[in-house]
Structure 1
């Protein structure tokens, strides 16, 4: 084998080695790009957007309305009860004053 052929073979081997390194780098870059495309993109929020559920909001609104009506009825019942107590207290005070006047008049002999 001649020296010229040997030099050509060595040059081809070194070229193949450098090409192999370049090809390996290129393949690694392609793999990184594929992996980046396969990963889901996170933009700060990790929740899936929920769809609007009209039934849920109608239920909440209905409960609020019924609760408001019950609270209103209880407030009205409390107001009527307090008015009845106030009228009863006024009548009792009037009766006690009349009875006291009668008692003092009886004590004085009238």
Structure 2
């Protein structure tokens, strides 16, 4: 009985080894076919043109626009500050007038 089990196990191992070898052969054939298909396809050159860098005049234009924009923003903030100071002075004057009005009553 032990000898029969051993011979069955040996036969199964031999069959598995044969199957493994067959799988390796099939795998190698599939890889070779994929490589040959890839080699048969013609290589198409790229259709688009690479983007050119910006010219000096473009960079000068961008720099000028940034400078003008920065000056505009700075003038806007100065205008807001002047409005704030004007409102504060107006509030002080009105408060002073209101106190004088209440004291003269």
TM-score, normalised to structure 2, is 0.53
* Structure 1 segments of 4+ aligned residues over 3 angstroms from their partners: none
Say whether residues 1:48 and 2:47 are aligned partners: no
Q: How far did 1:51 drift?
A: 3.3
Alpha-carbon distance between aligned partners in 1 of 2:99 and 2:60, rounded to the nearest angstrom: 58
- Aligned mates of 1:51, 1:94 — CA distance in 2: 64
Residue 75 of structure 1: CA displacement?
A: 0.8
Alignment equivalent of 1:66, drawn from 60, 65, 68 = 68
Residue aligning to 2:78 = 76
In 1, Cα distance between the equivalents of 2:91 and 2:81? 15
CA positional deviation for 1:36: 4.0
Match 1:85 to one of 84, 87, 91: 87
- Larger Cα Rg: Structure 1 or Structure 2? 1
Q: Distance in 2 between matches of 1:36 and 1:57?
A: 41
TM-score (norm 1): 0.51
Cα RMSD after superposing both structures:
2.7
* SS of corresponding position for 2:103: helix
Structure 1 runs not aligned, ≥5 long: 1-31, 104-110
The aligned counterpart of 1:99 is 101
